Structure 1
Amino acid sequence: MKKFIAAAIAATGLAITPAAAQDESPFVEFRVLTPEFALKAAEAALQFCRDAGYQVGVTVVDRAGNPQVFIRDRFAGPHVYETAYRKAWTAVSFGISTGELAEATRPGEPTQAIRHLETALPLGGGLEIEAGDGSTVGGIGVSGAPSPDLDADCARKGIEAIEFDIAF
């Protein structure tokens, strides 16, 4: 069969490019954060919020949106479990910060229907975690600070804590 395919390609004068050859594999390879680095990011985000006087919950998900770590400060509200997860999930699912998605899905925008998806939460505080090559390796969501922008600041500090480790 392989000889037939190779002969057919040769007969048509087509060459297999590296991208085409890559597409023939039945497997996809990607990287995700280890639980240790997911925890390091979550702890750094929590500590930054705590130092600023905010009681929050922090979730780190893998690139597929599966939770890896959740931590909650002792006085954070019960809602932070769900909202931190949904923010992290939304960031990796849509490939955009949840603050940017909130703007893009305002009422009247063509993408406003995204707000009706069950898990999506277009509310600031969710960010993608990218490796040095730009590939998404996870997402982080923070909930409980006085505003979505402050949640996002805490999430950024979590990413900064592992930035050097995932740069290479």
Structure 2
Amino acid sequence: MEIALELLESMLVKFRSEKKWTLQAIEQLSQEDITSSPTSESNSIANLIAHIRGAVHSRVETILLDIPDIRERDKEFEKGLEMSKEQALKKIMDAFDILIKYLEHLKSRPELLMSQPFINRPPLTYSQVNNETTALNLMMSMFREVHFHSGQIIYAAKIRKGRLIWNYD
């Protein structure tokens, strides 16, 4: 189990770091920055935040807190999606906190990494993983998904601001 614990710790470090940088980027934005899209075909930062939060809800929160999957994925990508800066910060913080909590749970019970948490649940909606996926595969998928979209958030923030100020503490 030593390698499993090392993997989980590594993922925890990465998610905590990603949370820090994403929050710092959003904190420097205005309401308009959060809701505007770089192009007519692009997602706004609000869309990306809604999508990350939706993915975390349907893939992790349903397992961790036994909350039914009520995600409406198409609404995450609606043009003109309104979201205040406070809502944006709360949604992204909640998403990262749920991921971190689940990883900490797995770290305390590494034998669950190869479990199939969706095996006896309704079919997953809007997911790259299926009901036979393992907890390990789920977290690897979430790692890729969240990293990809938080990178888009930071890039869109840089486009809007030109330059972001980072706190490295």
In the superposition, the TM-score normalised over structure 1's length comes to: 0.27
Relative contact order, higher structure (CA 8 A, sep 6+): 2
In the superposition, the TM-score normalised over structure 2's length comes to: 0.26
As a proportion of its length, which structure holds more helix?
A: 2
As a proportion of its length, which structure holds more strand?
A: 1
